[in-house]
Amino acid sequence: MKVLQERSLAPFHTFGIEVAAEHIIVAESPRELVAIWQDEQYCSLPKMVVGQGSNILFCEDYAGVIVLNRIRGVEVTETADSYLLHVGAGEDWHQLVSSTIENNMPGLENLALIPGCVGSSPIQNIGAYGVELKDVCQYVDVIELETGKQSRIAAEDCQFGYRDSVFKHAMKNTHAIVAVGLCLSKHWQPNISYGPLAKFDAEDVTPQAIFDEVCRIRQLKLPDPKVLGNAGSFFKNPVVESKLRDKLLTLYPDMPSYAMADGSYKLAAGWLIDRCGLKGYQSGGAKVHEQQALVLINHHHATAQDVLTLARHVVSSVAQKFGVSLEHEVRFMNAHQETTLAEVQS
């Protein structure tokens, strides 16, 4: 393991906010992860495993150890029907997607250009354009940090939900993801059900064409975190009962809504925020992105407090106008542990 001399976390999370950690350590193997947890110097301190920090808001300086997961490696095997990928948690997600397309192993093209490491993908059950990680995940390899015991969690036991999994709950503080197993069918079928992709003809569309279009749309709508600090979609798309959805449709006939299997409806958080007139709204150095209202950006040397104040205003505005409660998709970290917008003092 490599102990970094710097304490600034700005280079290690995509919001780029100037916060610090007591210690920053790079782990390149499961053994090194366990060694950090068992090191007497760090055992009494809070610890957090971070990939690229693409879904985190540090609300204040972190009073513990940030562990950068850099476990690499991609192994590919085949069956008659599938390509089986075993991918280290520290691999870059988009680079993996790009590589599979280049090597004629389609199935991930809808998930192109999602920032972050592979190890983060099961935690959020990442998804885009009609596809979620759970659709291609075969297993997740984890390590129990206190004991070093490694185990394999089958996809059906990962409790995948909408931007949710067991790794956000029962395993959040006790285990780290070290690898993810993906299964890509050789009998590829395009998923072009999502609006912007519906222009394609299922009979002749190629994985490369879908990949290129997803990248084009995301680059058009979403800011590059290397240019404008952000954590992607800040809020989850809210799920509401049919009664509220029907009421809102009478007032806003153009409101997007998507039926869920249980009879509820998913609304588009970005549309709700936009209809509140919040695109471009600014609080200190933080701002609602002018092209995509779902994204809050570090516009100009934003502090964590700037982002929190802006997020509270967005939540309050949507609740007042639509009676809908927004929940943040971004993980909030205080000095010692994960927290929520409601828990953070204003």
pLDDT in tens, 209-219: 999 999 999 99
- 273 DSSP 8-state letter: H
User: Residue 11, class by beta-carbon neighbours within 10 Å (0-12 exposed, 13-18 middle, 19+ buried)?
Assistant: exposed
Spatial CB neighbours of 265, under 8 Å, sequence gap ≥ 6: 239, 240, 241, 242, 245, 257, 258, 259
pLDDT tens-digit map of 238-283: 999 999 999 999 999 999 999 988 999 999 999 999 999 999 999 9
Residue type, 185: S
Strand 131-132 relative to strand 82-88, pairing: unpaired
* Among 322, 265, 314, 258, CA closest to 288: 314
CA–CA separation, 157 vs 169, rounded Å? 13
Q: Is 312 a catalytic residue?
A: no
Above 90 in pLDDT, residue 325?
Answer: yes
Task: Read off φ and ψ for residue 19, nearest 5 degrees.
Answer: -130, 165
Q: What percent of the chain has pLDDT over 90?
A: 93
> Which of 70, 163, 245, 275 is labelled catalytic?
163
Angle at 308 between CA 329 and CA 61, to 5 degrees: 95
Confidence bin at 134 (pLDDT 50/70/90): very high
> Which of 91, 109, 132, 329 is labelled catalytic?
329
Average pLDDT over residues 225-239: 93
Average pLDDT over residues 71-77: 98
CA distances from 15 to 45, 179, 342 (A): 24, 25, 20
Strand 331-333 relative to strand 56-58, pairing: parallel
| pLDDT score of 203 | 94
pLDDT tens-digit map of 15-55: 999 999 999 999 999 999 999 999 999 999 999 999 999 99
Q: What is the pTM of this model?
A: 0.90
Helix or strand (DSSP H, E) at 100: helix 93-102
User: Residue 266, class by beta-carbon neighbours within 10 Å (0-12 exposed, 13-18 middle, 19+ buried)?
Assistant: middle
| pLDDT score of 198 | 93
Q: Is 218 a catalytic residue?
A: no
> Which of 54, 120, 121, 233 is labelled catalytic?
233
Above 90 in pLDDT, residue 194?
Answer: no
Mean pLDDT of all residues belonging to the chain: 95
Above 90 in pLDDT, residue 346?
Answer: no
CA–CA separation, 346 vs 342, rounded Å? 9
Q: Is 233 a catalytic residue?
A: yes
